[in-house]
Structure formats: structure tokens, C-alpha cells
A and B are shown apart, each in its own frame.
Chain A
Amino acid sequence: MAELTISPAAVLSGADADFYQGISGDTVTAGKTMYLDSLSNRLRLADANGSLDSAEVVGVALHAASPEQPLRVQTRGTLTLGIAAGVGTSTVYIVGGTPGGIAPVADKAPGWYCSLVGVGNAQAGVYLNLFPSHTLA
């Protein structure tokens, strides 16, 4: 398997979603995993093999944003990613090795900090349950 290929326009939060509102520090599209850069207080693309900080996912982007623009991320609950993403039902997903990517846990490679994103559902989405383990594979 590979990282999910998400069509940004298909990303929709569910009725049970929780949110965090911040400011983007990167060019972001909907469906990207984000971490909060503590130095700049900006949301940036999460990355499993960047650093422990960049793997500390805080949410998934719900729309597009450029640096210094507002960014709303979903922190918990049901998130639709679209049919094209090819989400596997009951597949466990983690932060991927590409900035902002979401990968199946089977893709975990040495050097990745394992940060759980959620579990795939049968409605072309995931149930978000973010957990940055800080554990290096």
C-alpha cells in the first residue's frame, strides 16, 4: 500500500468533528496532516521522518491555506476523504513519510516516529483518533 491520494475538494468533516483553529505556516491543501510549530505558533505539514516535533500531529486540514492564512483542522471524529483516496475499511492509518501524508500502518519504516491518525471506515473516510506516540520505528 501507499499513502492516501486525497482529492482536496472531497474532504469534509463529519457532524461529530472537533476542531482547532490556527494559522498556517505552509502551503496546505485539505486532507493534510498538520503539527503545531511551537516556535512560530504556526500549523505546518506533519512528517513521520522529519523530527519528533513534526510527527506530533494535531489535526487534519479541512481546507486550503497559504502561509499566514487561517487554517481549521479537525482533531477528532469522522472525516470523509473521498472515494478516490482508496481508504481501507478498518485499516489503521499513521502520519506518512511525505509532509502532510497519511499512510497505512503497514508502510511504517525505520526512522519514522509512529503517530496514529485513525482507522478507515466504510464511508470513504477515517475516524480520527490522533496519537503521537513519540516512538521511533
Chain B
Amino acid sequence: MPAIAITPASVVAGADADFFQGYAGATITAGMAVYEDAQDHKLRGADCDGGARAANVKGIALHGSSDGQPLRIQIAGTLAIGGTTVAGAPYALGATAGVITNAADVLTGSFYTAIGVGAPNNRLKLAIAPSGQVVP
């Protein structure tokens, strides 16, 4: 399956969500997986083939933001992701900045970062786990 095609306006945190409040370091749209840059502590689009740091997902953006603006991300709980998900299917970080894809689609040589598991009604149950391991 391809990456989840997300409609940003449809991304909504669930009632069981946990949050992290930070600042965007680039243009971010709702539903993007983001990592925290260790140098300036800003949140940027995560990427499984951009190195271990970029694959170290912190959470999922809950709204749009530009460089230097506040950004609230969800780090745990259930999330209406604004795209089609399959209940029970594992999802992971993709090879384009911020993209969430089916876990089976993570390519050889990429860092594997689990994002969560599909839940009914096109939601994701977040289980973010940056493994730091390269897919052989």
C-alpha cells in the first residue's frame, strides 16, 4: 500500500491524546510526522532515508505552521489522520518528509520508525518508536 494521503483539515486529535508543544522549523501541515532538531530544538518533517536524526519521530503535527511559529503535536493516543487507514495494519515513517506509510513499504537502507497501528474509522493508534535500525 502507498503512503497515507492526508487531508490536513481532517486531522483531529482523539480524546486520549498526549501532546508536545514546540516551534516549527519549516512549513508543516497537519498530519506530518515531525522530529525535533537537536541543534535548534525546532520541529521539522521526519524522513526515514534522511539519517537517524531525521527518522527520530517526536510526534504528528496537529495543525499547519510556518518556520518559527508554535506547533502542537500529538505523541500518543488515537488520532484521526485525515486519510484512509486499515484497522490492524502497522504504519511507519516514509521516505518523503513527514509522510506516514505502510510498514511493509519501508525500503532497504532506510531507518525504521514505527508510527502506530490503524484503527477503525480511519484513525491511527499512535505507538511511535524510532528504532534507529536500518532495514537490511
The answer on a CB contact under 8 Å between A63 and B69 is yes
The answer on a CB contact under 8 Å between B66 and A63 is yes
Q: Which of A47-55, A65-73, A92-100, A103-111 contacts B (4 or more CB under 8 A)?
A: A65-73
Q: Which of A5-13, A32-40, A83-91, A124-132 contacts B (4 or more CB under 8 A)?
A: A5-13
Q: Which of B57-65, B96-104, B109-117, B126-134 contacts A (4 or more CB under 8 A)?
A: B57-65
Interface residue tally for chain A (C-beta within 8 Å)? 21
The answer on a CB contact under 8 Å between A69 and B67 is no
**B12: which of A8, A11, A68 is its contact (CB, 8 Å)?**
A68
Interface residue tally for chain B (C-beta within 8 Å)? 22
Contact of A64 with B64 at beta-carbon distance under 8 Å, contacts A69-B11, A69-B30, A70-B13 already known: yes
Give B residues with C-beta under 8 Å from A: 8-13, 19, 21, 24, 27, 30, 62-72
User: What number of residue pairs across chains A and B have CB atoms under 8 A from each other?
Assistant: 54
The answer on a CB contact under 8 Å between B69 and A62 is yes
* Chain B proximity of A87: nearest CB distance (Å): 18
Give 3 nearest A-B pairs by CB, closest first: A64-B64, A66-B9, A9-B66
* Chain B proximity of A81: nearest CB distance (Å): 13
A71–B62 Cα distance when bound, in Å, is 9
Specify which chain A residues have a CB less than 8 angstroms from the CB of B10 in the assembled complex. Answer: 66
- Which A residue's beta carbon lies closest to that of B19? A70
A94–B67 Cα distance when bound, in Å, is 27
Specify which chain B residues have a CB less than 8 angstroms from the CB of A30 in the assembled complex. Answer: 66, 69
The 19 sampled A-B contact pairs (Cβ below 8 Å) are A11-B69, A19-B70, A21-B21, A27-B9, A62-B70, A63-B65, A63-B66, A63-B69, A63-B70, A63-B71, A64-B63, A64-B65, A65-B63, A66-B30, A67-B9, A68-B12, A69-B11, A70-B13, A72-B70
**A12: which of B30, B64, B68 is its contact (CB, 8 Å)?**
B68
- Which B residue's beta carbon lies closest to that of A17? B70
* Chain A proximity of B8: nearest CB distance (Å): 7
Specify which chain B residues have a CB less than 8 angstroms from the CB of A11 in the assembled complex. Answer: 66, 69
A12–B67 Cα distance when bound, in Å, is 9
